[in-house]
Structure 1
Amino acid sequence: MKKPSIPKGTRDFSPAEVVRRNYIMNTIKSCFTTYGFQPIETPSFENSETLMGKYGEEGDRLIFKILNSGDYLNKVDDALYTEKDSGKLTSKISEKALRYDLTVPFARYVVQNQNDISFPFKRYQIQPVWRADRPQKGRFREFLQCDADVVGSDSLWQEVELVQLYDAVFQKLNLKGVTIKLNNRKILSGIAEVIGAEDKLIDFTVALDKLDKIGEEGVKTEMLSKGISKIAIAKVQPLFEARGTASDKLQMLKTLLATSETGLKGVAELEFINATISELGLETASLEIDVTLARGLNYYTGAIFEVAAPKAVNMGSIGGGGRYDDLTGIFGLKDVSGVGISFGLDRIYLVLEDLNLFPETVSEVTKVLFINFGEAESLYAMKAITKLRRSGVTAELYPDAAKMGKQMGYADKRNIPFVVLAGEKEINSQSFTLKNMKSGEQETIDIETLTKMFS
């Protein structure tokens, strides 16, 4: 019989992994709540028209389509079927798709619920998304996104708060050496303008976004292939050579964008965010202006963020986001600016694991296991377990009166730190024998002492 398997790019999670993932999620949630964000949830799949055309050509190709139920080929005529044009065929056989991210569904949610929302609306959302990407380390086809967005305000104080929010989460996770990279899409639009490639803005940003993957020469080659001239590419050489402090980079941008009003506005926005964060300070992370940061999603219009993991680990970005001035406009609600960030939980997990940063207590689920010596002993044990549980202590009874070695082995494999023995002797003296599984030490105590020890 063939061994069962799961699709590439998806994973099963063991109890220990789920507990660690919950630790990260709960840390992020607590910070979201502290910063005034409210939780919402949206369906795992949306109407295709909601998602398609929002992520650029490359993003659209990565959207998982859902076949219509029933005879999905029924509406396809023979001529179209024979043509074998997947683009035309897809719209006939698939009307829904798995969500690619949480931002576009959030924009749809805002438009549908605009009469019930108080603006500015601060929401957080922690749910899975799906992308038909090539699986590799830290990149999966099904993964969890943890998003925080504000819509209904174009104030740059929102960007400042989101930088602080990133820092607060990483400080709580004890993750040092994280870099929050910052740029602005207005700057990229301004650069396209001054090099005479306004009509190639999307091609320019998509290529630039691949700098970490294909290098400077690879980016230039792709730009050339998209019709951006050698002269235009030569004009953006200062981007590839940018070094030094934030002030140095901002001055370079001012010189490069001297003739672009849009570009200079982007520089001014960067200056405000950088200066304000410098004044307020960060606990753990550092803020860096990255003039080549582009982020490939087309809906960004202002500040863009990308979070780099500590240099000690080989990992891509562990977060990102940006300002989108009119994302809700695609659904009919004009002039509602928004800005948001996302945490890449799966990659953060791998980073914490590589750096051994998960607290030992995170892995402890059950604190104490009661050994099963038989029916009467189990009833005595269950009375104590019930009292412990009512006090919030995680306690279990081994379900079968198996050999002592088997029960002890079970506790050891599950890393349960304490075992309680309650046999005939303990019942007669109304006591319990508590064994520390790490040290091997044993002591006899009463139920009150036992409860106080773990409460």
Structure 2
Amino acid sequence: MAKPGLPQGTRDFGPEVVRKRQYIFNTIRSVFELYGFQPLETPAMENLDTLMGKYGEEGDKLIFKILNNGLDNPDKHQQARADFEKVLEGKNVKGLTERALKYDLTIPFARYVAMNHGQLTFPFKRYQIQPVWRADRPQKGRYREFYQCDADIVGSNALLNEVELANIYNDVFTQLGVTGFELRINSRKLLAALAAFCGGAEKMIDITVAIDKLDKIGLDKVKEELAQRGLNNEQIDTIEKYLAITGSNEDKLEQISALLGHLEIGRKGIEELETVNRQSAIDNLVIDFTLARGLNYYTGIIFEAKAPATVKIGSIGGGGRYDDLTGLFGVPNIPGVGISFGVDRIYDVMEELKLFPEGVYTGTQVLFFNLGAEESKTAFATMQNLRKQGVRCELYHEAAKMNKQFNYAEKKNIGFVVIIGSQEIQSNTGVVKNLKTGAQETLPLADLTNKLFI
């Protein structure tokens, strides 16, 4: 018999972990709702042609493709086997796989808008909290199955949207207690201007893919990669000057104006950054010209939320403007902008920094002891009254020794126990014990209310 196990890069979540994750989800969801976003869900899998070609050469490699049905069909078995052998040889076999697990929530959202744009009210503001899958190498903070929490606005060019998304990041992380995070922003228009300055728009993808690796491989390796991608020494020197810009946000804007402000698309990118920097008024907003985000569909402001430096996790969110994403699906001219929260990484940050409030761990608030048939009958009726008041409670499943029931309450981190024995039935009372303080008192059953167990 095979030993039970999990696919690499996936995890089970026990009750305590689920409660902590729900705390993060609920915090993010409540902020999304405050800003007027509506919920949406899309399927776990999409048609392969919906996803391929949308994430850049690096991203496309990480899409989990789903094998078509047929291996359990005797008529198709032999052909499916033969096709799969061809795939192992590096050949592309049409019809072997036509679907894939979704890589992110943005492209499926664009597909949804393209299919339903006639019925939507624009600007359309949606949020989505669902799992996505990437065939990545698992490591700390990086998994093959993980949740994303996205907020997107489509049908509006206003920079007000970018300002609000920046404030959503700030509000969420402030409510979660994640102080020390940085919200980094750049404009893809500046990267387009840099590409134009270094030989033409066709250099854009080569430059952004290389720059996006700066944190991982360092400047020298980035320069090597740029050379391998066909850029000459003069062009690489210009990119190095671009990457070397430092100082306050205002200093950086002044320096980038000197380098790229003579190009129209460069001026537009600078104006965007100036507006978001000025209007968002967030202390930890950092203009970062090294930020590239290697996704081809971004066209304007891009975001990356960085975890506090002490936890060494890196990005905990990102996004940007994608002014013609639905054009990929035959519905052009619907501008959009969106952000995503990396919940799994946020969880790791909060766990390491011990930021979860104590109440998050609490499931059952009150355990009613089971001391026999008549006693449990009274206990059950009392428990049901408390449940109607919103008190989370349970009755021990069988009559057992008091020590066993106390141990059960302690292991489940239950704060209170209520003991109703034969004497208590006669007097219509119950013994209430606070397991955290040790305090104990006998109270009329009618006085057991939600206020008592807070």
Q: Same fold (TM over 0.5)?
A: yes
Q: What whole-Å deviation, never above 9, does each CA across 1:369-408 have from its counterpart, x for those lacking one?
A: 0111111111010011000000110010010112222211
Aligned equivalent of 1:35: 35
The verdict on how the C-alpha distance between 1:31 and 1:78 changes in structure 2, with shifts beyond 3 A counting, is closer
Whichever residue aligns with residue 177 of structure 1, its letter is G
Deviation at 1:429, TM superposition (A): 1.1
The verdict on how the C-alpha distance between 1:407 and 1:193 changes in structure 2, with shifts beyond 3 A counting, is same
Deviation at 1:239, TM superposition (A): 2.5
CA contact (8 A) 1:73 1:93 kept: no
Query: Which of 360, 364, 376 is the equivalent residue of 2:374?
Result: 376
- Looking at structure 2, the residues matched to 93 and 367 of structure 1 have their Cα atoms a distance apart, in angstroms, of 53
Deviation at 1:82, TM superposition (A): 5.3
CA contact (8 A) 2:207 2:226 kept: yes
Query: Which of 214, 237, 260 is the equivalent residue of 2:240?
Result: 237
Kindly report which structure 2 residues correspond to 1:338-377, keeping only aligned pairs within 5 A, or say none: 338-377=336-375
The verdict on how the C-alpha distance between 1:131 and 1:377 changes in structure 2, with shifts beyond 3 A counting, is same
- Looking at structure 2, the residues matched to 233 and 439 of structure 1 have their Cα atoms a distance apart, in angstroms, of 67
Aligned equivalent of 1:68: 68
Deviation at 1:75, TM superposition (A): 6.0
Aligned equivalent of 2:17: 17
- Looking at structure 2, the residues matched to 92 and 437 of structure 1 have their Cα atoms a distance apart, in angstroms, of 62
CA contact (8 A) 1:304 1:322 kept: yes
Question: SS of 1:104's equivalent?
Answer: helix
CA contact (8 A) 1:75 1:92 kept: no
Aligned equivalent of 2:58: 58
Deviation at 1:87, TM superposition (A): 5.2
Matched, 1:310 2:308: yes
Deviation at 1:240, TM superposition (A): 2.7
CA contact (8 A) 2:293 2:302 kept: yes
Deviation at 1:83, TM superposition (A): 8.2
Q: What whole-Å deviation, never above 9, does each CA across 1:276-331 have from its counterpart, x for those lacking one?
A: 12xxx33xx61000011000111000000000111221111110000001000010
CA contact (8 A) 1:398 1:407 kept: yes
- Looking at structure 1, the residues matched to 173 and 398 of structure 2 have their Cα atoms a distance apart, in angstroms, of 44
The verdict on how the C-alpha distance between 1:66 and 1:77 changes in structure 2, with shifts beyond 3 A counting, is closer
Whichever residue aligns with residue 286 of structure 2, its letter is E
Deviation at 1:230, TM superposition (A): 2.0
Whichever residue aligns with residue 165 of structure 1, its letter is I
The verdict on how the C-alpha distance between 1:79 and 1:36 changes in structure 2, with shifts beyond 3 A counting, is closer
Whichever residue aligns with residue 454 of structure 1, its letter is F
Superposition RMSD in Å: 1.7
The verdict on how the C-alpha distance between 1:74 and 1:270 changes in structure 2, with shifts beyond 3 A counting, is farther
Matched, 1:166 2:169: yes
Whichever residue aligns with residue 90 of structure 2, its letter is S
Q: Where in structure 1 are there 5+ consecutive unaligned residues? A: none
CA contact (8 A) 1:197 1:228 kept: no
Q: What whole-Å deviation, never above 9, does each CA across 1:168-209 have from its counterpart, x for those lacking one?
A: 111211221111000000100100111215322112101101
The verdict on how the C-alpha distance between 1:63 and 1:78 changes in structure 2, with shifts beyond 3 A counting, is closer
Query: Which of 323, 331, 334 is the equivalent residue of 1:333?
Result: 331
Deviation at 1:449, TM superposition (A): 2.3
Query: Which of 202, 211, 215 is the equivalent residue of 1:199?
Result: 202
Matched, 1:88 2:92: yes
Aligned equivalent of 1:321: 319
Aligned equivalent of 2:432: 434
CA contact (8 A) 1:76 1:92 kept: no
Aligned equivalent of 1:141: 144
Question: Number of paired residues?
Answer: 449
The verdict on how the C-alpha distance between 1:179 and 1:226 changes in structure 2, with shifts beyond 3 A counting, is same
Question: SS of 2:309's equivalent?
Answer: coil
CA contact (8 A) 2:245 2:256 kept: no
Q: What whole-Å deviation, never above 9, does each CA across 1:320-370 have from its counterpart, x for those lacking one?
A: 000001000010111111000001111111111111111101111110001
Q: What whole-Å deviation, never above 9, does each CA across 1:420-446 have from its counterpart, x for those lacking one?
A: 111111111111101111222211111
Aligned equivalent of 2:104: 101
- Looking at structure 2, the residues matched to 80 and 246 of structure 1 have their Cα atoms a distance apart, in angstroms, of 53
- Looking at structure 2, the residues matched to 207 and 73 of structure 1 have their Cα atoms a distance apart, in angstroms, of 43
Query: Which of 217, 230, 240 is the equivalent residue of 1:227?
Result: 230
- Looking at structure 2, the residues matched to 47 and 115 of structure 1 have their Cα atoms a distance apart, in angstroms, of 22
Matched, 1:177 2:180: yes
Deviation at 1:261, TM superposition (A): 1.4
Question: SS of 2:299's equivalent?
Answer: coil
The verdict on how the C-alpha distance between 1:413 and 1:114 changes in structure 2, with shifts beyond 3 A counting, is same
Deviates more, 1:66-75 or 1:121-130: 66-75
The verdict on how the C-alpha distance between 1:78 and 1:132 changes in structure 2, with shifts beyond 3 A counting, is closer
The verdict on how the C-alpha distance between 1:75 and 1:104 changes in structure 2, with shifts beyond 3 A counting, is farther
The verdict on how the C-alpha distance between 1:82 and 1:164 changes in structure 2, with shifts beyond 3 A counting, is closer
Q: Where in structure 2 are there 5+ consecutive unaligned residues? A: none
Deviation at 1:85, TM superposition (A): 5.0
Matched, 1:114 2:113: no
CA contact (8 A) 2:364 2:392 kept: yes
The percent of aligned pairs where both chains have the same amino acid is: 54
Whichever residue aligns with residue 57 of structure 1, its letter is E
Query: Which of 262, 269, 273 is the equivalent residue of 1:270?
Result: 273
